[in-house]
Chain A
């Protein structure tokens, strides 16, 4: 028995190495776990996209579950995911706030006019300061924030119909109860 064990060792070592390397193939290096998940969302107050003279303050959203969607008109992937948010907005399940990130106001407004505006409010983060506080590094990004103002989920990159339904909406419904 012990004799055979000796010959099995290289095989076992090999399988362990294969497991580690194989797992690496299926990890997405773009998805960096955010340290902000389960921490209070940064409170921000910036100009409203539609009405420059008014301010949008994130404190207004306290007490309800809400989604923050970071987007820009120059971002190709935002265009891909946008119809999904338009659909979600129509369903009136959860308020979606748009954070327009490092964009031109005119371009952003034109974009919303052409593709639809699912946002209950749009914040205009012209210099990307709010984005920096949220740790944004790849637009689009989507955050689910609970009634206490804690970030419960962060999605990096465009959402898909499936990820929006199974991750975002499912979590929203759970948090709303």
Chain B
């Protein structure tokens, strides 16, 4: 019984929509447009303390501080790119869930396509080879008779 209850509680905790803290709810009420913008951008950025969460999902102090900073900067009229640049300057590209395309991330972005091209080339060449190795030898009379017998006489 206790166990079932615990399971139920756990399940409800997992399934429940993320609850806003009182402070966040107040901020949301104050300026919903700004808050939506903050949260949208925060979901694009990684929380470095709890690495598999975004700054938008995390309730860590680190994430709350950075969201506050983002909010301040947006209030000052900075656009999203400027806010992201501020974060990247301090925490590196790792803070972005979408890494930028540059020389060090070339393999990351294009590696799969390179592999795809190599795979297609290997497939193409081996298919061609196989086609060449199959020789067409015409049937002789005896073989033809056997084939006819097997296929049923007409």
Contact = CB atoms under 8 A, between A and B. Distances in A.
Interface stretch (A28-36, A109-117, A166-174): A28-36
Interface string B64-96: 011001000000000000000000111111100
A71 interface: no
A21 to B, nearest CB: 15
A29 B90 CA distance: 17
B92 A137 contact: no
Contact of A137 (B69, B89, B91, B93): B91
Task: Bin the interface of chain B by size.
Answer: 10 to 19
B102 to A, nearest CB: 13
A132 B68 CA distance: 12
B62 interface: yes
Task: With a 10 A CB-CB cut-off, give which of B51, B66, B89, B90 has the most chain A CB atoms.
Answer: B90
B48 interface: yes
B91 A102 contact: no
Interface of B: 48-49, 51, 61-62, 65-66, 69, 88-94
A35 B88 contact: yes
A168 to B, nearest CB: 21
A133 B93 CA distance: 15
- Most chain A beta-carbon neighbours within 10 Å: one of B49, B61, B65, B88: B65
Interface of A: 29-30, 32-36, 102, 128, 132-135, 137-138
Nearest to A42: B90
Contacts of A128: 65
Nearest to A32: B94
A77 B93 CA distance: 26
Nearest to B94: A32
A9 to B, nearest CB: 10
Contacts of A32: 48, 91-92, 94
A132 B69 contact: yes
Contacts of A133: 90
